[in-house]
Structure 1
Amino acid sequence: MRAMAAAGEQVDLVCTDPPYNTGHDFAYRDDFRDAGGRPGSRHEAWAAMMAPRLEACRDLLRETGALFVSIDDNEAARLRLLLDEVMGEQNFLAQVVVNLNPKGRQLGRGFATSHEYLLVYARDARRTVLDASSAETVDERDFPLLDEATGRRHRHLPLRNTNKKFNPITSPTLHFPLWGDPEGGRVATAPFPGAVEVTPVFGDGRPAVWRWSRPLIEERPGDLVCRVVRGRAGERVDVFQRDWLDREGGRRKKLPTIWLAEEIGSTDTAVAELKDLVGHVFESPKPTGLVRRVLGTMPPDAVVLDPFAGSGTTGHAVALANAADGGARTCVSVNSAEPTRPGSNAHAAGLLTVADITRARLRAVDRLLGGGLEERVGWEPSADRPADLVG
């Protein structure tokens, strides 16, 4: 990452899954290390390891970029405070609950934990291009009406603004009469035969305003319909927008802050994905569906950085996303030469470091999906400076 910074390179998205600080020693003995940790203060040691790396990620992010960091309960609170300091509290966007283990952990005492977190920050919340919505979360059942002439599904939304902050006093230009035919449904800004005058009102009868301006209504009359509705004071005539399922530009829906395993995959499906490529060589990878949902919030030509590449899920997900939508995303996957545990599946398979696992997966992905893979070593490995993988 230092080499990227020195070369003036920048990225649009940082998406990473750092060590979760489960009590084991860290394998990051390099020039980022701060010797401030005290015996027994594993939280401080973890924060000292993370802080300079997060600062480096921030410095590599474009002003329009965003950062997603996975974490569990061990350090969720401390990471939130650390990111507030590094990224700026004003740039916090969300703390997403990710349901990666639907059955919950059955080991040990206490609750069966079934979730982790995804902390989301913008480099600059005022300028970020992150779009916290997705086409995948759109439910066709929310659009129950069918236009017989076109066969298009839609729903009716009140044309009046239901937010009472917007009223004839605060938005006077949006308070004007329309004319509508409740029998045929036609709506216009001027009177026509068979039409009745309709003014926007709240449910209690107080004056309201329209959501659309007069020029927009004149431009899109076919997207409006006049109907008789029953309110508190009995029947009245009102105007509605035909909100089409297949609207121009694509239908998207705001992402919730709880992501279910049935939507984005689980730890079990992630293990299966990795096993199909290189074998069962990593205990808790992330599912590519999780990362693909993150990728969907950014432009299809985003440059992505994963500074804790681990099993290579982010690079794999980028390749899958490009194959699915023709995007031009690129991914830089970085991992230290953290040794795998002797006796583990990875070690038995000849993958002596976590970086070896990253390489093996990304090579398999390149053979399967293409897209190109470049490997290089940031510096020669030694006891104090483990090698980095960049792919």
Structure 2
Amino acid sequence: MHFYGTVVGVIFISIDDNEQADLKILCDSIFMPSNFCGQFIWRKKSGGGQTDRYFVTEHEYILVYQATNKFCWKDIQIEKSRKNYKYQDEKGSYNLIKLEKWGSSAHKEDRPSMYFPIKNPDGEDFYPVAPDGKAGRWRVGVKKMQTLIKDNLIEWKNGIPYEKDYYSETEVKTKTQKSRSILYNVGETGDGSNLLTNIFREKDVFQNPKPLSLIKELISHNSANYILDFFSGSGTTLHATMQLNAEDGGNRQCILITNNENNICENITYKRNQLVINGYTDLNNEEVPGLTKNNLRYYRTGFVGRSRSMQNMRKLVNLATDMLCIKENLYTEQNTFGGQKTYKNVFRYFDDGKKQMLIIYREEAIDELVDIIYDMNIPQPIKVYVFSPSEDPWEGSFDDVSDKVELCALPQAIYNTYRRILPKKKDAVVMPEEDALASTQEDKDLFDGMLNFEYDEEA
């Protein structure tokens, strides 16, 4: 498990206390201790547990690692309540905030420059005192303090100075707070089980599913457009993503990965989110509206051989179409291109009104397609993936339309990706005569199952 490329994001890993210590050591070795943001303690249940050996274990841990220090965690926005502004004068309602620093780093030696006297109402010097009675420090520096004094924004109560914070009808009435490391009110395991029971109208669908509110809490604090869950279980992460998008107008996309053990993907993960999109009737016979502004696509993967024969390369390109759709986030296929009918094994064309993608499987079609592109009036270059036995995407053939296309040679781009992520191994050299005599059954076994494409789409 590694962060690849220019990822600016975060990974959440949930674990119980049996393996938390070992997992922390392992993750530090993979992601580096400097990328450790902290860990949440999630209260997963509030009852039961009397069969536990020593203590009732009510919690799990969620380790948080960032890919780079550019990752940003959004603080909580708290609405300011007018009832907290309980004091009143001619200027309006106000609250009092203690000027002496409290909590951590509250001593003089922590910030010596913020240890200085101000005049109390009797004209005497007053120095800040820490909660433990030792020399303390102010919350603000000298310049800020002088401004507060000048603007008459300091009030003394019981010999202690406070800053006057006025309520404003025009200013933004929210303040930020950092997230707490202990998660109390974001759902329990039982909530996840109850939700699945309502969706499927049967009990014990899946053991210990994460509650929807927990996943929403985790993904709501960053602006990530892509969310990946590679141990997807019952599919809560996708459900939470769609629900959060519906609530805040977001455009997040979610990818789930599962090994389909005991057919969990077909029977639970996929079916659950299909019902969530279409809507369902719960156990109380109440209709739950669907999250209809979503698309759900389901892929199966398989193995691809490394031998680079011409026959294998062509098959790899033909089978890679769905991966290209994922990469470009473009799934709307057209039956024609510039008036020319498309052919599945020759070329295919995708256009969603915002961007375009042309996949050319047979190089013999290039000249005719170039003529079509030449006569087209397009707002932006077409992404063109073209079969080539080398790294050259037939650039010379596209000279006349070079300003209208963005070329990429296949399958070389795929092989380059494999090289980055797979163990190093020399490519097998296949002689032309061996290529021509390749066993049809062997080729079928080699490529069967790679990205067999199934999806259910709801507008």
Tell me which interval the TM-score lies in, with the shorter structure as reference length.
0.5 to 0.7
Q: Give the 3-state SS of the residue equivalent to 2:214 in structure 1.
A: helix
Other-structure match for 1:157: 97
- Structure 1 residue 104 displacement after superposition: 3.9
- Structure 1 residue 336 displacement after superposition: 2.1
Separation in structure 2 between the aligned mates of residue 295 and residue 316 of structure 1, nearest angstrom: 12
Other-structure match for 1:146: 86
- Structure 1 residue 249 displacement after superposition: 7.5
**Which residue, 307, 313, 320 being the options, matches 2:236?**
313
* Alignment map for 1:14-163 (pairs within 5 Å): 54-55=1-2, 58-59=3-4, 62-63=7-8, 65-107=9-51, 109-124=53-68, 126-131=69-74, 133-135=75-77, 144-146=84-86, 155-161=95-101, 163=105
Other-structure match for 2:187: 265
Other-structure match for 2:270: 359
How many equivalent residue pairs? 294
Separation in structure 1 between the aligned mates of residue 135 and residue 101 of structure 2, nearest angstrom: 12
Amino acid at match of 1:277: I
Amino acid at match of 1:363: Q
Mark the runs of 5 or more structure 1 residues left unpaired by the alignment: 1-53, 183-194, 340-351
Other-structure match for 1:211: 140
Residues 205 and 361 of structure 1, relative CA distance in 2, 3 Å threshold: closer
Q: Give the 3-state SS of the residue equivalent to 2:155 in structure 1.
A: strand
| C-alpha contact 2:80 2:173 (8 A) present in aligned 1 | no
Separation in structure 2 between the aligned mates of residue 111 and residue 242 of structure 1, nearest angstrom: 46
**Higher RCO, 1 vs 2 (CA within 8 Å, ≥6 residues apart):** 1
| C-alpha contact 2:243 2:291 (8 A) present in aligned 1 | yes
- Structure 1 residue 214 displacement after superposition: 3.5
- Structure 1 residue 269 displacement after superposition: 1.0
Q: What TM-score, normalized by structure 1, do the two folds share? A: 0.61
Residues 288 and 208 of structure 1, relative CA distance in 2, 3 Å threshold: same
RMSD over aligned Cα atoms = 4.4
Residues 79 and 321 of structure 1, relative CA distance in 2, 3 Å threshold: same
Amino acid at match of 1:251: K
Residues 268 and 206 of structure 1, relative CA distance in 2, 3 Å threshold: closer
| C-alpha contact 2:86 2:93 (8 A) present in aligned 1 | yes
Other-structure match for 1:20: none
Q: What TM-score, normalized by structure 2, do the two folds share? A: 0.53
Residues 373 and 249 of structure 1, relative CA distance in 2, 3 Å threshold: farther
Separation in structure 1 between the aligned mates of residue 94 and residue 211 of structure 2, nearest angstrom: 33
| C-alpha contact 1:332 1:390 (8 A) present in aligned 2 | no
- Structure 1 residue 252 displacement after superposition: 3.1
Residues 128 and 376 of structure 1, relative CA distance in 2, 3 Å threshold: same
| C-alpha contact 1:319 1:369 (8 A) present in aligned 2 | yes
Separation in structure 2 between the aligned mates of residue 148 and residue 313 of structure 1, nearest angstrom: 49
Q: Give the 3-state SS of the residue equivalent to 1:353 in structure 2.
A: helix
Separation in structure 2 between the aligned mates of residue 331 and residue 151 of structure 1, nearest angstrom: 51
Residues 151 and 256 of structure 1, relative CA distance in 2, 3 Å threshold: farther
Residues 14-35 of structure 1, C-alpha deviations (whole Å, 9 max, x = no match): xxxxxxxxxxxxxxxxxxxxxx
Amino acid at match of 1:117: Y
- Structure 1 residue 221 displacement after superposition: 8.6
Residues 164-199 of structure 1, C-alpha deviations (whole Å, 9 max, x = no match): 566798437x96869x9x8xxxxxxxxxxxx97987
Separation in structure 2 between the aligned mates of residue 152 and residue 360 of structure 1, nearest angstrom: 57
- Structure 1 residue 119 displacement after superposition: 0.8
* Alignment map for 1:276-291 (pairs within 5 Å): 276-279=198-201, 280=203, 281-291=205-215
Amino acid at match of 2:7: R
Other-structure match for 2:129: 202
Separation in structure 2 between the aligned mates of residue 354 and residue 150 of structure 1, nearest angstrom: 65
| C-alpha contact 1:267 1:286 (8 A) present in aligned 2 | yes
Does residue 226 of structure 1 match 2:226? no
Q: Give the 3-state SS of the residue equivalent to 1:252 in structure 2.
A: strand
Separation in structure 1 between the aligned mates of residue 5 and residue 92 of structure 2, nearest angstrom: 45
Separation in structure 1 between the aligned mates of residue 6 and residue 228 of structure 2, nearest angstrom: 9
Larger Rg: 2
Separation in structure 2 between the aligned mates of residue 293 and residue 152 of structure 1, nearest angstrom: 37
| C-alpha contact 2:277 2:294 (8 A) present in aligned 1 | yes
Separation in structure 1 between the aligned mates of residue 168 and residue 266 of structure 2, nearest angstrom: 45
Other-structure match for 1:255: 179
Q: Give the 3-state SS of the residue equivalent to 1:201 in structure 2.
A: coil
| C-alpha contact 2:13 2:62 (8 A) present in aligned 1 | yes
Residues 127-178 of structure 1, C-alpha deviations (whole Å, 9 max, x = no match): 22123x4347x8969x743365899986422335454566798437x96869
